Amino acid sequence: MAYFNPNRVAFNYNTNMIDAVGAVGRSLWDIYKTNVEKNQNQMKLDEQERSNKAQETHNANVLNATEAWRKTQQENSEREFKFKQEADARDYALKQQQLNAQIQAQNENRAFNQWYKNQILQSQQNENLRRQQEVQAKAAQEALNRTMLFNQMGGVLPKELENASPQVISAYQEAFLNPNAVKMREAEAKAAQELQANPLKNLPVGTQNRLNNAKTLLDRYVPYANDLVANESQISGGIDNLTAPLGKALGLNSDAIAGLYADAEAIADMERAYTKGGGNQAKISALKQITPVNTLFSTTLSGVASRIDNQLSAYNEVIKMLEAQGNYSGVKLLEEQKNELIERLPKEITPFLQKRADTGQKTSSVEEQFKKRAQQQTQTQSFHDQMDENGGYYSGGINPLDEDW
């Protein structure tokens, strides 16, 4: 804060200034005068010091100028010497530069040659890499296309190949898609369709004829056996056994008995016709067994049953052959035909059949057996098992490179 003077002040006419009144005012005046004197003395001292410094500066400048002249002389001498040295150095540097230029040119030429070789090598490596990538991309695309085609054609990997390497899986797919394998599957599918439509199509001609003959004969034996049972009272017993043959010779038998004799004759003729090399003896043998009139009716039924067994054996033989071939449709068809024929026979003759079909057995069990067998074959045999060391597959498992083929 501003200094506060408690004393009063008044105008001093001596000094023409406002001063403090009393002792304080006089003290302040004394101080003021002392300061003025001190300032005046200090100004004198400062001027003297400035003058001294100016003189010293002048002297120093003169000395510096003299020193500068001497230094200039020395520098000129040194410059002449340095110029000569520089001239010599320039000549040496030029020669050195020329030598370095030659060395650099040689190094650059070698570097360019090496760079050019590296460029060619890199270009070759890039081309090889590009071709390798193209091959890999092509192989990947082919693998993708092969997998898609494999799936589209219903291909399924066996369980043992689910964790196999891509190379093994690829080989399996290639074997599956091999033209020979495709043709074989198409042929098998076509054969299966044809076999489904006609399960007995592939039977040998002789077997087919034997089966057709048996069916024709059984179609005659079934109504004949039923007629025998219906007319049992007229064709059994000692009297009937004596009168019926005589009545046949004289044409005196009833229509029923005459019809039975006529049916027996017709069946015997068919037996002769269907027996290879049998001739008339085949007819006589058949007629002897199926003659309608006997003393015992059981004799008649037994003889007819024996002839029926002979024909049923043809069914049994073909069924056994088809089972070995795995032709379930054919087995089922013949089983149904055989069972249907047996069901049409009278129950009185059934006990005399030696080769009866068990009508209570369901043919579905046969189907289950075939399915189980097919499943086992599928698990144990696959395209992978039939591939050669190169991944090739041959229809029917035959390798044309084998020496025994």
Give the residue with greater pLDDT, 7 vs 185. Answer: 185
100 CB-side CA count, 13 A = 6
Give the residue with greater pLDDT, 327 vs 241. Answer: 327
Give the Cα separation of 221 and 260 in Å (integer). Answer: 11
* pLDDT for residue 270 is more than 80: yes
- Please enumerate in sequence order all residues whose Cβ is within 8 A of that of 248, keeping only pairs 6 or more positions apart, or say none: 257, 258, 261
Task: Report residue 85 as tokens.
Answer: 């040295």
* pLDDT for residue 8 is more than 70: no
Distances (CA, A) of 67 to 19, 58, 72: 62, 14, 8
* pLDDT for residue 116 is more than 70: yes
User: Which pTM does this prediction carry?
Assistant: 0.45
- Residue corresponding to tokens 């074997």: 175
* pLDDT for residue 23 is more than 50: yes
* Domain residue extents for the chain: 10-133, 198-361
Q: What is the pLDDT of residues 299-313, one digit of tens each?
A: 888 888 888 888 888
* pLDDT for residue 379 is more than 80: no
* pLDDT for residue 325 is more than 70: yes
Q: What is the pLDDT of residues 121-154, one digit of tens each?
A: 998 999 999 999 988 888 888 888 878 877 887 7
Task: Report residue 215 as tokens.
Answer: 């069916």
Q: State how beta strands 9-12 and 17-20 pair.
A: antiparallel
